Amino acid sequence: PLYQLVVESDLWIFAMLALGHKYLNKPSCALTYLSQAAYPVYILHMVMLYLASLLIFPLSLSTPMQFILVLVSTFSGCFLVYEMVVRRVRFIRPLFGLKNNERSQTVSLESQP
């Protein structure tokens, strides 16, 4: 019956949340970096998605290939612009919700213990 599918789906969701809570609920350099990047990437993703779509959709490729290319280019474009521009240009940081202090500019995956 249909309710079994609903219960099973809910249990899978709860299992994933429990595993995430157990193994990912501790401080790490990746979590620090990604937490700081969340809002700027959220702001950038629509621009990157539009640019990727503008460039990729006119190509005569299959729909799954277009989807993969748009997805990869949006993801990589967001993090590239975040890493190369938003984190490094001091006057742009507040526009993306980042603090302008020296400590936050030096946080990276390599510098955290």
Q: What is the DSSP string of the chain?
A: -HHHHHHHHHHHHHHHHHHHHHHH-S--HHHHHHHHHHHHHHHHHHHHHHHHHHHHTTS---HHHHHHHHHHHHHHHHHHHIIIIITT-TTTGGGGT---SHHHHH--TTT--
> pTM to 2 decimals?
0.68
Amino acid at 28: S
In a domain, 84, yes or no: yes
Q: Which domain holds residue 87?
A: 28-106
Task: State phi, psi for 74 to the nearest 5 degrees.
Answer: -65, -45
pLDDT of residue 98: 87
pLDDT tens, residue order, the chain (113 aa): 788 999 999 999 999 999 999 988 888 888 888 889 999 999 999 999 999 999 999 999 999 999 999 999 999 999 999 999 999 988 889 999 888 865 544 555 555 55
User: What's the total number of domains in the chain?
Assistant: 1
